[in-house]
Amino acid sequence: MNPRHRRLLIPGLLIALIVVVVVASLADRAGAASAEPEVVLSDPRITESSGLAVSAEHDDLAYTVNDSGNAAEVFAVDLSTGEVAGVTTVRADFRDVEALALRDGTLWIGDVGDNRRERDDLALFAIDEPGRATATVEPRRFAVSLEGGPADVETLLAPPGSDLLQVVTKTVADATLLTLAEGDLDPAGSTEFEVTTSGMPPLVTDGAYSPDGSRVALVSYGALWSMDPADWSPVGSGSLPPLEQSETVAFVSDDAVLVGSEGEASPLYRLDLPVSEVAADRVATVATSTPKPTPSAEPAARSSEQSEGFAIDLRTLVVGGIGLAAVLALAVVFVARRGRSRA
């Protein structure tokens, strides 16, 4: 073989190998996820669903909110049709609501999003579970802060049978769980979430406790994690359906969840909570091998036109990478053939 062609063939084969690996990974992801959504949030007012809580008191009912830049409204959604069954207007100024948690008839609204890690006005709002009613309510507002200083948070947890509230930081590495007691919340002052544990999965965008309190589901970009809240060890992980930007998760039984996305007509997929013997190794590998982000490089969850940051669509990056690799491979083949024709 012509040495020049051999030099072209080797990188061409490497590019082809990369393409095969990535495509196989995407195929595995697609095969592991549900083919059809359970329901689609079809109401045009729901465009950036960033929190989900399933009612224990009302059949086939869940609550969701839009995040930054939207009205202070909570939508009650019929899970059998995807239609809005009621809208609760909250008399409050929301800045970046990212999470919901429902416990004992109280709906907690987490205005805790902070992509730039600069906020000093994080807050939790509490309202009575609204059901299918349409009304305007006065919430209870509690200022909160995070031990260690500002951090981006998109997850709010309310463990069943307790008065604890918990948040998970959204970071590429060293993600942290922080906790406070509901009884310590001060409507006239600020209450600090204290660090409970580190080593949580990366880029967590939402989470929820199972109804029996034995499991916690955490969702990130492209993955669903199952955690044991006794010691916060991972007990399973699995791939997600092809969501535009996975932002919501809520339990519909002790071992199944609904996972959703931002965007118009966003689908909700029902997934069994994953169990895997290698999940702990996956968390440790990702947490230790991924470099800490700089402020300019940290993945965020908004477009550059919005005040809270810009979006990084991981699926778009992967697909774009496949396309680039394919173009390079074709270019190598073309050059090699052209060289043979001239020889």
122-160: pLDDT as tens digits: 999 999 999 999 999 999 999 999 999 999 999 999 999
Chain mean position to CA 65: 14
Mean per-residue pLDDT, 273-295: 52
Distance CA 79, CA 251 (A): 13
pLDDT bracket for residue 312 (50, 70, 90): very low
Mean per-residue pLDDT, 312-328: 42
Alpha-carbon distances, residue 343 vs 7, 10, 188, 331 (angstroms): 16, 20, 84, 19
- Identify the pLDDT of residue 327: 41
Q: What are phi and psi of 95, to 5 degrees?
A: -100, -55
pLDDT mean across residues, the chain: 80
Mean per-residue pLDDT, 39-56: 96
CATH number of 37-295: 2.120.10.30
- Identify the pLDDT of residue 339: 52
Mean per-residue pLDDT, 2-11: 47
Q: Which of 30-39, 131-140, 270-279 has the highest mean pLDDT?
A: 131-140
Distance CA 271, CA 255 (A): 9
- Identify the pLDDT of residue 68: 86
Mean per-residue pLDDT, 253-273: 95
- Identify the pLDDT of residue 11: 47
Distance CA 227, CA 215 (A): 6
Neighbour count for residue 180 (Cβ, 10 Å): 23
The tokens describing 323, both together, are 């396309």
Mean per-residue pLDDT, 58-78: 95
